[in-house]
Amino acid sequence: MRNSWIRRIVGAAAFAGLATWTLTGEAANPLPEGNGTLAADIAFLQKGLSKEPQKREVPTLKAVAMLIALNAQNQMDGKDAAKMAGVRDAALAVAGAVTKKDFAAAKTAAASLSDAKPAADAKPVTLGGMHKFDLDELMSSFRKGTVGGLNLEADVKAQSKKVTDPQAAAVIAGRVALIGEYTLGLPPEGIDAAKKKQWDAWSKEMTTLAADIAKESAKADKADKVKMATGFRNLDANCNACHTAFRN
């Protein structure tokens, strides 16, 4: 449902603190090493842009490009900093081209993600507000795969019943953790302080719950699948709580 009353704050100020993930006092990168989300998102983007995308696929393609940019920037704290900055910049080029509906340029930029050139200047940038990325586009990625989404809503519900493949669960959780970071920076405009507090709490909780699942799945064979399913149930409750208050 689209809320006409929601006008997104796209100003950079709304995103203070997004560039490094210090908002809940955790480390800059909510995802554990070896989490497969970056590779899965690059593959999704390249496939989606291998042909002229359908209109309904476009918002999620842009969202995935922005998720890649954030994920790469979150990993700019180690020895791969220049490489990760290069991935981020290529992903931002995809997001910019998709915004302009220049799908040929988007396809070329997406292809370059497989072997991104290290950036000369590996400094964090403020991703919030870039390419007018908004909540509609961000949330579109939760929709079913059959309508161009990442199928995350259905996947979260399925995983909350039973986790069988920790690696698949790692990608679902990884995507949701990153989405939570952007959600935090995209509160509906004009809400009062009490509502804003709720928005912030649910956004941070989305990332924290999803990151905990991703951390558990990183234990591979030793991952506690029952614990992960419980994590997905808590995540589903988080989605519902925010929707009851903010989505009508």
Backbone angles phi, psi at 188, to 5 degrees: -60, 145
Nearest partner of 172 among 224, 214, 228, judged by Cα = 214
| Residues in 192-211 that interact with ligand HEC by CB under 6 A | 199, 202-203, 206
38 is an interface residue for ligand HEC by CB under 6 A: no
The residue (of 84 and 156) whose beta carbon lies closer to ligand HEC is 156
183 is an interface residue for ligand HEC by CB under 6 A: yes
The residue (of 2 and 55) whose beta carbon lies closer to ligand HEC is 2
246 is an interface residue for ligand HEC by CB under 6 A: yes
10 is an interface residue for ligand HEC by CB under 6 A: no
| Residues in 131-170 that interact with ligand HEC by CB under 6 A | 135-136, 139-140, 142-143, 152-153, 156
Q: Which residues contact residue 80 at a Cβ distance below 8 angstroms, ignoring those fewer than 6 apart?
A: none
DSSP-assigned letters across all residues of 29-92: --SPTT-THHHHHHHHHHHHTSSPPPGGGHHHHHHHHHHHHHHHHHTTTSTTHHHHHHHHHHHH
The residue (of 167 and 234) whose beta carbon lies closer to ligand HEC is 234
Question: Which contacts qualify for 215-223: CB closer than 8 Å, 24 or more apart?
Answer: 215/32, 216/166, 217/35, 217/166, 217/167, 217/169, 217/170, 217/173, 218/32, 218/33, 218/34, 218/35, 218/170, 219/166, 220/166, 220/167, 223/166
Minimum distance from residue 152 beta carbon to ligand HEC (Å): 6
Q: Figure out which of the listed residues 176, 178, 213, 228 binds ligand HEC, where binding follows CB under 6 A.
A: 176
Q: Which among 61-69, 106-114, 121-129, 231-239 is the span making contact with ligand HEC, rule CB under 6 A?
A: 231-239
Residues contributing to the site for ligand HEC (CB under 6 A): 2-3, 6, 135-136, 139-140, 142-143, 152-153, 156, 176, 183, 199, 202-203, 206, 235, 238-239, 242-243, 246-247
